């Protein structure tokens, strides 16, 4: 919503948590009701451009690298040899860009239900779309749940669930049946990555349920990696990795340290640090 003062503000209110986050905006660049959600793009005073879906902040130019790098590089350096990757959601294409920085990846298929999000990203956030025309990239605008269900067994090395919050169109991406389909589509040493909300707000609710559901779906290991994300609730976010048989806490640290591409946040020490579990999360997750 827009809040009047001496300057205009976009403010996202987290009513149940009694908190809010706001950015000073100088211009509304775009708004539309897509088939699935209400899409807005703003120019902010200090965080560059801002994308909003159904009133919730999706990304800004200034800090999206934190999320996109942590949703991709820990998983890809954990898998022994990631070649085939699927991204469910991810319509802004930032995670796709990070995945395809890995030269060993042979194909990355992105399945997002809303083509207009990718259109808006290409128009207003073109730096996120650098890999859209990479010959290894395949962009599909379809139901990601159905796509995974129909994927050939053992055909994928990594699945990244780059989704919005677990409500509305994304609710089915946080479910045991979907995780079972992901497990079937993955090879035994494959890695599943799920964006898993705020550790501070959701450790004993959403994150705990993700761990329970992934284990119920047959994943032997699950681990949540927190990372900073200033424009999301509490400024602290997370991803949860799981594997049918492989490890999610050991990674190719030598390869990570010698990575051939540039990042702004991720490095080998960040990866090691993100694997540490805060005490309150150990309690919430029963570790």
Q: Any idea which architecture 2-60 has in CATH?
A: Roll (2.30)
Residue 47 confidence (pLDDT) above 80: yes
Single out the catalytic residue among 63, 92, 112, 162: 162
Could you report the per-residue pLDDT of 134-185, keeping only the tens digit for each?
999 999 999 999 999 999 999 999 999 998 666 555 566 778 999 999 999 9
Prediction pTM value? 0.95
CB atoms within 10 A of CB 55: 13
pLDDT class of 2 with cuts at 50, 70, 90: very low
Tokens linked to 201: 């707000």
Q: For residue range 206-265, list pLDDT tens digits in order.
A: 999 999 999 999 999 999 999 999 999 999 999 999 999 999 999 999 999 999 999 999
36-41: which pairs have CB atoms within 8 A and are 24 or more residues apart?
A: 36/113, 36/114, 36/169, 37/114, 37/168, 37/169, 39/114, 39/116, 39/117, 39/120, 41/120, 41/124
| Annotation marks residue 162 as catalytic | yes
pLDDT, residue 34, reads 97
For the chain, give every domain's residue range: 2-60, 64-285
Distance separating alpha carbons of residues 174 and 66, to the nearest angstrom: 22
DSSP 173-202: GSSHHHHHHHHHHEEEEEEEEEE---HHHH
Give the domain 64-285 fold: Rossmann fold (3.40.50)
């Amino acid at each position: 919503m827009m809040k009047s003062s001496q300057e205009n503000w976009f403010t996202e209110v987290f009513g149940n948590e009694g908190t809010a986050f706001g950015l000073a905006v100088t211009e509304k660049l775009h708004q539309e009701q897509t088939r699935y959600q209400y899409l807005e793009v703003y120019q902010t005073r200090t965080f560059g451009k801002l994308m909003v879906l159904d009133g919730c902040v999706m990304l800004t130019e200034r800090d999206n690298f934190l999320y996109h790098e942590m949703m991709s590089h820990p998983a890809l350096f954990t898998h022994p040899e990631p070649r085939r990757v699927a991204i469910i959601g991810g319509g802004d294409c930032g995670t796709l860009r990070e995945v395809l920085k890995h030269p060993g990846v042979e194909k990355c298929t992105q399945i997002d239900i809303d083509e207009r999000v990718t259109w808006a990203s290409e128009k207003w956030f073109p730096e996120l779309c650098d890999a859209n025309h990479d010959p290894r990239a395949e962009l599909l605008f379809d139901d990601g749940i159905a796509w995974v269900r129909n994927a050939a067994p053992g055909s994928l090395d990594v699945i990244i669930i780059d989704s919005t919050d677990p409500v509305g169109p994304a609710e089915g991406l946080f479910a045991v049946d979907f995780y079972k389909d992901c497990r079937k589509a993955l090879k035994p040493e494959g890695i599943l990555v799920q964006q898993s909300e705020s550790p501070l707000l959701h450790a004993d609710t959403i994150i705990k349920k993700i761990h329970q559901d992934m284990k119920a779906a047959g994943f032997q290991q699950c681990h949540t990696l927190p990372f900073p994300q200033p424009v999301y609730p509490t400024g602290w976010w997370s991803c949860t990795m799981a594997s049918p048989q492989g490890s999610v806490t050991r990674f190719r640290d030598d390869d990570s340290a010698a990575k051939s591409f540039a990042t702004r946040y991720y490095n080998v020490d960040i990866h090691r640090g993100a694997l540490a579990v805060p005490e309150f999360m150990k309690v919430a997750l029963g570790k």
